[in-house]
Structure 1
Amino acid sequence: MSTEKKVESNKIADDLEPVSMYQMFAKMFALVAKEVSDEFGDAGREAVKRGVWNFGVERGKDIARRAKARGKPNDAANYLVSYDMDRSDEFDSVDTYGDDQVEQIFSKCAFAKQFQKDGMEEYGILYCEMIDPSIAYGYNPNLKCIHEKHFFTHGECTFCFKMEKGTE
């Protein structure tokens, strides 16, 4: 019998602050986007944006599947409640539901915070500008995302997810 000490591999030391998956994702995304942008210039930036768009569309399709599994239509009212990403305390938003639309105002975002902390806003914006419109499109091509304010320029992010009239 072995006298080796077994240690749980998923435990970090109690005196270390954990790094969230949101922080790691933001760092990874910005560093990859920077490398692609540095290597390929504007064509690389456009490729990164297309990749984010494709990722978002796939997420949106899965959110539509989640709504359907709940017996709900993929309309504006069921978009956020069927969402695929839990909101941790690293995000703060107020959601307001109206006729065929949902408005969100974010006062805190882990992704934007990390992009800003690392001085990587130039690369983070490639994600921020594309992800929500593409998720909404994948969920329902008639759900439009209006994203007027960004953390990098306004200190908050605002979204309006609005179903185009006569297209439901």
Structure 2
Amino acid sequence: MKDKKIESNKIADDLQPVSMYQMFARMFAHLAKEVVDEFGEKGAEAVKRGVWKFGVERGEGIAKRAFARGQKNDSDNYLISYDMDRSDEFESTDTYHEGYVEQVFSRCVFASEFQKMGMEKYGMLYCETIDPAIAHGYNPNLKCVHEKHFFTDNMCTFCFRMEGCKETKHE
């Protein structure tokens, strides 16, 4: 029998590939559910602490990216120095103001996956914690106000504002 070479990193043409974002969301939901089912509220708090630490670490990396570009780690440079590419699985509009940035997501693969799985409860452990943590790691004076969520509002809204800047309300 002759040896047959197969490229193992190729998805069959007739199959829809699963993105890393989808896999991450699914993995997170399953892990969070197991921890919460096993340890209750203490488990939920532990998951949120883990997400917070992960977010702060990411924010510190984003600050380094801004610094490497010769920029201050303020609200104007936060999103443009971000560490995660936006695929077409995310859709957002960013509006820059003096001292703050508003961001409105109309599509989010994480929220979509959590909803498909019926695991919004566990997804919220991530969604409510990650962006405030990233902003804090980027600059402790950058506050994240997360008013609307996909699970209740079919969109996510964020305001990233430097402390001392007026808070904005999303419509």
Q: 1:161: how far off?
A: 0.1
Correspondence for 1:110: 109
Correspondence for 1:155: 154
| SS in structure 1 of the partner of residue 23 of structure 2 | helix
Correspondence for 2:45: 46
| SS in structure 2 of the partner of residue 14 of structure 1 | coil
Q: 1:12: how far off?
A: 1.2
Correspondence for 1:139: 138
Correspondence for 1:120: 119
| SS in structure 2 of the partner of residue 16 of structure 1 | coil
The reply on whether 1:59 has 2:58 as its aligned counterpart is yes
How many Å separate the matches in 2 of 1:33 and 1:143?
Answer: 27
Correspondence for 2:168: none
Q: Alpha-carbon deviations, 1:34-68, whole Å to 9, x = none?
A: 00000000000000000000000000000000001
| Corresponding letter in the other structure for 1:80 | L
The two structures have a TM-score, normalised by structure 2, of: 0.95
Q: 1:165: how far off?
A: 2.4
> RMSD over aligned Cα, in angstroms?
1.1
How many Å separate the matches in 1 of 2:54 and 2:115?
Answer: 23
| Corresponding letter in the other structure for 1:39 | E
| Number of residue pairs aligned between Structure 1 and Structure 2 | 165
| SS in structure 1 of the partner of residue 13 of structure 2 | coil
How many Å separate the matches in 1 of 2:155 and 2:56?
Answer: 24
Identical columns (%): 72
The reply on whether 1:30 has 2:23 as its aligned counterpart is no
| SS in structure 2 of the partner of residue 130 of structure 1 | helix
Q: 1:5: how far off?
A: 1.4
Q: Which runs of 5+ in 1 are unaligned?
A: none
| SS in structure 2 of the partner of residue 36 of structure 1 | helix
